[in-house]
Chains A and B, each alone.
Chain A
Amino acid sequence: MLWEVDIHPAPTEADRAAERLVASARQAGYGEQLNAATARAFLIQGEHLGEDQVQRICDELLCDRVVERAEFAPVGDDRLLATPARLAGDATLVQVLPKPGVMDPVALSTETAIADLGIERPLVRTLNKYWLTGVDAAAAQSVSDRLLANDAIEQSVIGPLSVDHLDAGGAYEFHLQHVKISGLDDDALMRLSKEGQLYLQLAEMQTIQRYFDELGREPTDIELETLAQTWSEHCSHKTLAGRIAYRDENGERTFDNMLKETIFAATLELRERWGADDWCVSIFKDNAGIVRFDEEDNIAFKVETHNHPSALEPYGGANTGLGGVIRDTLGTGLGAKPVCSTDVFCFAPPDVDAADLPPGVLHPRRVMQGVVEGVRDYGNRMGIPTVNGAVYFDERYLGNPLVYCGNAGIIPRDMSFKEPQPGDLAVAIGGRTGRDGIHGATFSSAELTSESEDLSGGAVQIGNAIEEKRVQDVLLAARDRGLYTAVTDCGAGGFSSAVGEMGEEIGAEVWLDKAPLKYEGLSYTEIWISEAQERMVFSVPEAKLAEFQSLCESEGVEAVVIGQFNPTGKLLLKYGEHTVGELPMSLLHDGRPPVVRQASYTPSPVTPLTPPDKANYTADLLAILGSLNVASKEWVIRQYDHEVQGGSVVKPLVGVRSDGPGDAAVVRPKLTSRRGMVIGCGMNPRYGDLDTGRMAASAIDEAVRNCVAVGADPKLIAVLDNFCWGDCEKPETLGSLVRAAITCHDLSLQLETPFVSGKDSLNNEFSYEADGQKQTIAIPPSLLISAMGQIDDVEKSVTMDLKQAGSALYLVGATRDELGGSHFAQVNDLEGGAAPTVDGPAARDTFIALHQAINSGLVRACHDLSEGGLAVAAAEMAFAGELGAQIDLSAVPFVGDGDSAAARLFSESNTRFLCEVAPENEAAFSEALGGRAAKVGVVTDSQELTIESGGAAVIKSPLGELKAAWQSPLAW
């Protein structure tokens, strides 16, 4: 019997979901006539399920009778289709339900909870129902497509459902598949690569062809897939960790492994320089980078991207992006405990006209809402505070939004390394394997096109955060009992990459038929490469297996032996008694043919940027405060729990009303200690249009100075790189990346700031056809630098809000004519100019001196100068602290040519801070900064910001107006 239960708001209650839908539909131009009613619904199938039982399920489980009303009947009954009385007029019913196989955590919980009532466990699917009035059928379909259902994971039905039963999947019949590769010419090889969604390059396909020719057989499908997963850009980083011939104005340089010879090399050199004082622990080899924290513990940090999935299904993509990076922390060493998360997003401006969107592109507003909700629902449920982040806007993120998710954790010092032992069993725990996420790893190497949604919907998934929380709980308990020798997460490539990586030095045999499945019907290859979420693989000594499994069982986590690490040096894949694949580990991990890629960088000629000479710049300041990159992100931040775990010291929003922009977060990972972790980030895609080297330097400086601004010790800041770039098969695109990597190397050494981990996402280009021509949108070069600092005593932290009238304001650092790529240039439509530089040695000295002053208690408030320069920093400090400020531009130390009021106000020169200092501490502060700071103004109790130049006010505005300009654009 298949029943449907509809849950409606009670007559006394508002239909909030309908209100939200109507608001977004009106915004999207569907007219003021549109109205809606909604219900959430459950399809419940049980062989003997009777009306009394369904009534009980409604009363005791599904319906909250104080605020809801339930309607139930056999599916298809007219009562379920009738327009609710609260909606007048003839309505079109749109029903949206997840496609079969898509994760539906609510349905799973409902099945278990019904069984808990003592009723036979049924099959459940959830759906959402929308009755729409004031639109015709075509418009209803359009509302459904654009606002209600995402074709990548959901199906929508206009009118009645045509289901009469829920499908539990069909049985699988084993059949070993071989793929013909021998004798294929180059074109045929590339066709196989593309049509099989392997996305391998010709030289790689040729290597595979040669290998199997020598063996005298064809590869099986699973062997080909394994090679494609392991050799994918996502898993092997073959471009940046590969051979590159690079050319720029300084000549030519060849790399055997570009990342190793730039960013990684700098860290090695620093570690050598530090000798016994080396505080790095595990660098660029585990799932996250690890550094020392205190006598007992180390801390780990990793930032990942999940761009391609988020472009197709923003909620699921961001959801599983955060879930994935949390598993990176859990899979670092023997398992780190996640302490806090970060998120950085890049979107196209949300006010783009829907009519101007290329085919296959979701509206940026919908992308933004989905991404924010996806991160929210995963992080909050896991109980990991999201403490830091940023949002950037640029038209070129239209087809490729960027979603960076980071996670930091804490791990005992003696558990920071892992090593599977020969003979250990491979045990998979957590979620079951389904057909979700097939080809995610290889798909991320492909350019997105307007057809990507049809082609790769399977690569998109929805997460189940509670499953991952269970895995976390059990993992940390098993770690502390010493029940395993190694752990890693199932990320891209699923079991294929997890087992392949863990068995790299030993060898492994895998019994694919043992893997627990969500439903029947999966082939051995689907099991092997599925990227179903919330799974981790452990190597467990046989003697510990019983205890490990019993611990898992006690917390309701499934743990199944799927193979063994055998000292054979090869990967043997079996399904029952059948061998379905056999590959040497050496071929998987070292067999990829070296490809030399060409990279070139030609510095663009610097064209002068002459700022308009104005008598008053108040309007410019208001425009910059109201520009999307600078504007308040409170709408996002408030949806994230930033305080769970109880360690929050400096929150993302600070000040009198907790709505000013904090520079970096301070978190106590151990509630019994005063030692803190500091998390910040830096990113400046706009500078990359002028010079990707300067962009990289600025991002590093910004990430470090954010941390220093709240009190972090600059000698203990570790950073991560995340390169999101366009198509790096184009020499100039790759060249712009190499240019950035070389700068990272140089500045890392100068600042003594080590890179400890990183990740890249290339091919962020979107192509479509318009007027019969192929059009391509490439993202701007987007390097995110994330920083993890430390503070000895969190009570020494400072925040950016002004504290007291009468204080002095000191500007730390030199201002230059660096308006290129600035927000002043943006709001005035000015091209050219020079992007900001970083003087590495001077920056390090400045950071150390300022830290000394903060640590000595000489600083009441400190804010870093970034987008919008001095004027924006002063405005933000003033309105966050609800105190006025008076600043004299003539006191600003200016270096070099191009001096102007505009440059002093808005230049985005690096390594600068604005500090509030109590009158009694002015002398000590000046001395601590040793000539690097100049007194530029005072804090007043006037509720007004005044900036003067030569005795005349060039900016004068009440704080309320400044704050309103800053808050209004994204006050959704």
Chain B
Amino acid sequence: MAAPKALILRSPGTNCDVESAHAFELAGATTESLHIRRLLEQPDRVDDFQILCLPGGFSYGDDISAGRVLGNEVRLHLADACRRFKDAGKLVLGICNGFQVLMKTGLLDIDDDQGPQATLTLNDSGHYEARWVRAAAVPGQCVFLQGLSDLDLPIAHAEGKFVARDQDAFDALQAAGRLVIRYTEPCGASPATYPANPNGSVGDVAGICDTTGRVFGLMPHPERFVDRTQHPRWTRGGVEEGAGLKIFENAVGYFR
């Protein structure tokens, strides 16, 4: 099969589109960046792609709350196209702001009859923070994390604290194997305390997938670790390559 095509969805305030496209290209995909306005005009255009990526940034300034305005646009106007995309066995990746958007679209199967089972909200620190963290992948059926265990990745966000509606909701997501990536202490130990868990996420949750494992959202930025010189300690030796690249390679490999 030819290289899969990844749609990099832009919106006002998206700002990680270039490096996300670069990561997909390094992994062997071809990419096209498309503005949300083009997609709203022609929702069918999404059918030309195998992977949909919602990159990081501040869609619509994160006004009201992170990802809310873009999430509403997708939910209100692109629901059919997105359902078709998902039903066709294709992949969706939301990174940082893209994850925040996904949480508000319905694509992550996060809503039950009582409403959303979980959300992402303001960090415990009360403000934006950028730092590298250690994350542990528990891939289960998540396509993107296959073969990954522990890896270093950077986070950069103000609203990344994962909160479940209640313990039942958390337990249900956990039991379904959907809490697929967690913050750990640098030594790999759990639970993680600040700053290893940088935002106060319940259960140290850094990312989740949908019920199929083909839709995945995470707060850390794998596209910022696709080259060894991006690692904060590469000058100390021992960093051979960018571990985040594997997530993009898994997506591309899924179609091979």
* Chain B residues with CB below 8 A from A381, complex form: 13, 15, 58, 61-62
Evaluate contact between B235 and A62: CB separation under 8 angstroms.
no
| Contact with A469, one of B12, B131, B233 (Cβ below 8 angstroms) | B12
- A640, B127: Cα distance in complex, Å: 10
CB contacts under 8 Å to B, within A1-55, are: 13, 16-17, 19-20
Interface-lining segment among A102-110, A205-213, A241-249, A939-947? A102-110
Residue of A with least CB distance to B116: A66
Residue of A with least CB distance to B130: A641
Evaluate contact between B233 and A656: CB separation under 8 angstroms.
yes
Evaluate contact between A643 and B230: CB separation under 8 angstroms.
yes
* Chain A residues with CB below 8 A from B22, complex form: 646, 671-672
* Chain B residues with CB below 8 A from A644, complex form: 15-16, 19, 56, 156, 224
- A774, B229: Cα distance in complex, Å: 56
* Chain B residues with CB below 8 A from A653, complex form: 232
- A645, B61: Cα distance in complex, Å: 18
Evaluate contact between A66 and B127: CB separation under 8 angstroms.
no
Evaluate contact between A66 and B60: CB separation under 8 angstroms.
no
| Contact with B131, one of A60, A638, A650 (Cβ below 8 angstroms) | A638
Evaluate contact between B60 and A117: CB separation under 8 angstroms.
no
Evaluate contact between B121 and A640: CB separation under 8 angstroms.
no
Residue of B with least CB distance to A646: B19
Q: Mark B156-176, 1 if CB is under 8 A from A, else 0.
A: 100000011100000000000
Interface-lining segment among B65-73, B138-146, B248-256? B65-73
Residue of B with least CB distance to A801: B236
B214 contacts the other chain (Cβ, under 8 Å)? no
A432 to chain B, nearest CB (A): 15
Q: Beyond A554-B35, A638-B129, is A466–B12 a contact (Cβ under 8 Å)?
A: yes
- A554, B118: Cα distance in complex, Å: 35
Evaluate contact between A654 and B12: CB separation under 8 angstroms.
no
| Contact with B15, one of A61, A383, A638 (Cβ below 8 angstroms) | A383
Evaluate contact between B35 and A555: CB separation under 8 angstroms.
yes
A480 contacts the other chain (Cβ, under 8 Å)? no
B48 to chain A, nearest CB (A): 19
SS class, residues of chain B in contact with chain A: mixed
| Contact with B130, one of A17, A469, A638 (Cβ below 8 angstroms) | A638
* Chain B residues with CB below 8 A from A60, complex form: 72
| Contact with B128, one of A20, A106, A376 (Cβ below 8 angstroms) | A376
A927 contacts the other chain (Cβ, under 8 Å)? no
| Contact with A113, one of B69, B130, B156 (Cβ below 8 angstroms) | B69
* Chain B residues with CB below 8 A from A108, complex form: 63
CB contacts under 8 Å to A, within B198-252, are: 221, 223-224, 226-227, 229-230, 232-233, 235-237
* Chain A residues with CB below 8 A from B84, complex form: none
Evaluate contact between B16 and A656: CB separation under 8 angstroms.
no
Residue of B with least CB distance to A470: B12
A945 to chain B, nearest CB (A): 19
| Contact with B224, one of A62, A110, A117, A643 (Cβ below 8 angstroms) | A643
A803 contacts the other chain (Cβ, under 8 Å)? yes
Evaluate contact between A639 and B65: CB separation under 8 angstroms.
no
- A797, B16: Cα distance in complex, Å: 25
A382 contacts the other chain (Cβ, under 8 Å)? yes
Give the number of residues in B that approach A within 8 Å (Cβ atoms). Answer: 58
* Chain B residues with CB below 8 A from A656, complex form: 233, 236
Q: Beyond A109-B69, A798-B235, is A466–B60 a contact (Cβ under 8 Å)?
A: yes
A381 to chain B, nearest CB (A): 4
A848 contacts the other chain (Cβ, under 8 Å)? no
A751 to chain B, nearest CB (A): 27
* Chain B residues with CB below 8 A from A671, complex form: 18-19, 22, 227
A93 to chain B, nearest CB (A): 22
Residue of A with least CB distance to B236: A803
A649 contacts the other chain (Cβ, under 8 Å)? yes
Q: Mark B87-119, 1 if CB is under 8 A from A, else 0.
A: 000000000000000000000000000011111
* Chain A residues with CB below 8 A from B72, complex form: 60-61, 113, 116-117
Evaluate contact between B61 and A643: CB separation under 8 angstroms.
no
* Chain B residues with CB below 8 A from A799, complex form: 235-236
Q: Beyond A646-B223, A799-B235, is A466–B76 a contact (Cβ under 8 Å)?
A: no
Q: Mark B9-30, 1 if CB is under 8 A from A, else 0.
A: 0101111101100100000000
- A555, B33: Cα distance in complex, Å: 13
* Chain A residues with CB below 8 A from B115, complex form: 65-66
Residue of B with least CB distance to A651: B232
Q: Which of A113, A655, A658, A801 has the most CB of B within 10 A?
A: A113
A679 to chain B, nearest CB (A): 16
B49 contacts the other chain (Cβ, under 8 Å)? no
B235 to chain A, nearest CB (A): 4
Q: Mark A459-470, 1 if CB is under 8 A from B, else 0.
A: 000001110011
B57 contacts the other chain (Cβ, under 8 Å)? yes
B78 contacts the other chain (Cβ, under 8 Å)? no
A77 contacts the other chain (Cβ, under 8 Å)? no
A467 to chain B, nearest CB (A): 8
Evaluate contact between A658 and B63: CB separation under 8 angstroms.
no
- A105, B69: Cα distance in complex, Å: 13
| Contact with A643, one of B76, B116, B119, B130 (Cβ below 8 angstroms) | B130
- A289, B75: Cα distance in complex, Å: 46
Q: Beyond A671-B22, A801-B236, is A794–B229 a contact (Cβ under 8 Å)?
A: yes
- A94, B156: Cα distance in complex, Å: 33
* Chain A residues with CB below 8 A from B164, complex form: 66
Q: Beyond A117-B72, A651-B232, is A658–B57 a contact (Cβ under 8 Å)?
A: no
* Chain A residues with CB below 8 A from B10, complex form: 473
* Chain A residues with CB below 8 A from B15, complex form: 381-384, 469, 644-645
Residue of A with least CB distance to B66: A64
* Chain B residues with CB below 8 A from A556, complex form: 12, 37
- A656, B221: Cα distance in complex, Å: 21
| Contact with A668, one of B73, B229, B237 (Cβ below 8 angstroms) | B229
* Chain A residues with CB below 8 A from B38, complex form: 554
* Chain A residues with CB below 8 A from B4, complex form: none
* Chain B residues with CB below 8 A from A380, complex form: 58, 128, 156
A642 contacts the other chain (Cβ, under 8 Å)? yes
A827 contacts the other chain (Cβ, under 8 Å)? no
* Chain A residues with CB below 8 A from B154, complex form: 643
A795 contacts the other chain (Cβ, under 8 Å)? yes
A648 contacts the other chain (Cβ, under 8 Å)? yes
A275 to chain B, nearest CB (A): 35
CB contacts under 8 Å to B, within A515-536, are: none
A67 contacts the other chain (Cβ, under 8 Å)? yes
- A697, B53: Cα distance in complex, Å: 50
- A794, B76: Cα distance in complex, Å: 46
Evaluate contact between A66 and B58: CB separation under 8 angstroms.
no
B122 contacts the other chain (Cβ, under 8 Å)? yes
Evaluate contact between A383 and B16: CB separation under 8 angstroms.
yes
Residue of A with least CB distance to B40: A116
* Chain B residues with CB below 8 A from A384, complex form: 15
- A60, B119: Cα distance in complex, Å: 14
Q: Which of B15, B56, B154 has the most CB of A within 10 A?
A: B15
Evaluate contact between B229 and A649: CB separation under 8 angstroms.
yes
* Chain B residues with CB below 8 A from A20, complex form: 126
Evaluate contact between B60 and A67: CB separation under 8 angstroms.
no
* Chain B residues with CB below 8 A from A470, complex form: 12
Evaluate contact between B58 and A466: CB separation under 8 angstroms.
yes
- A61, B73: Cα distance in complex, Å: 11
Evaluate contact between A116 and B76: CB separation under 8 angstroms.
yes
Q: List 8 A-B contacts (CB under 8 A).
A: A61-B72, A67-B121, A105-B61, A116-B69, A117-B76, A466-B58, A645-B16, A646-B227
Q: What residues of chain A have their CB less than 8 Å away from a CB belonging to chain B?
A: 13, 16-17, 19-20, 60-62, 64-67, 105-106, 108-110, 112-113, 116-117, 373, 376, 380-384, 464-466, 469-470, 473, 554-556, 638-646, 648-651, 653-656, 658, 668, 671-672, 794-795, 797-799, 801, 803
Nearest 7 CB-CB pairs, A to B? A383-B15, A646-B19, A109-B63, A66-B119, A466-B61, A106-B63, A799-B235
9 new A-B contacts at CB < 8 Å, known A16-B122, A650-B235, A656-B236: A66-B165, A110-B63, A113-B60, A113-B69, A469-B12, A645-B15, A646-B18, A797-B229, A799-B236
